[in-house]
Amino acid sequence: MTYHTKYSKKLIDDICLDLANGKSIKASLAPRHPDKSRPTWECFRKWLINTKKYPKLREYYSQAKQDGIEYQLSDASELITESVKDSKLKDKTDLGSTHLVKEFISLAKWRAERLKPRVYGKNDINLKHSGDPAAPLIVKWSN
């Protein structure tokens, strides 16, 4: 049985709140309750693409994802703090837990770099120019 999900400001606010709280779009669009339908990814993506009908949706979606980065980075910071406190109370630190914390933080950093590269991107990249010295140098920024 397929249900049609109707676009509404309340639905978009709920989805964006999920994203701002660090949830993935896949988790946000998953059906939670039979009475609360969520669009499929295909439906939501069509809404994102239809800028004539929904001119601000892409902006809301992008902002919510960026807010979610901040939320997840704060989770990573809290996890580090808790892990350090726990390790001080033990004679030995559990290697498995250490690796999980490291991977959690790596994932949070990777997401931040991809979703907001101008803020969280790596600045230590060395740029090199090769080619015709007489030709103009063209620099383009992309996300």
CATH number at residue 109: 1.10.10.60
Is the residue at 15 inside a domain? yes
Answer whether residue 58 is part of any domain: yes
Whether residue 61 is contained in a domain is answered as: yes
Q: How far apart are CA 87 and CA 94, in angstroms?
A: 8
Query: How many domains does one find in the chain?
Result: 1
User: For residue 106, how many other CB atoms are within 10 A of its CB?
Assistant: 11
Rounded CA gap, 36 and 33, in Å?
5
Q: Is residue 20 part of a domain?
A: yes
**Is 125 contained in some domain?**
no
Q: 134 lies in a domain?
A: no
Quote the pLDDT of residue 1. 40
Indicate whether 135 belongs to any domain: no
C-alpha–C-alpha distance, residues 57 and 46, integer Å: 11
Residue that the structure tokens 């931040």 belong to: 112
Residue 3, in any domain of the structure: no
Q: Place 8 in a pLDDT band, splitting at 50, 70 and 90.
A: very high
Average of per-residue pLDDT across 39-68: 93
53: containing domain: 9-120
DSSP per residue, 33-90: BTTB----HHHHHHHHH-TTTSTTHHHHHHHHHHHHHHHHHHHHHHHHHHHHHHHHHS
State pLDDT tens for residues 79-126. Answer: 777 877 777 777 777 777 777 778 877 877 887 787 777 777 776 555
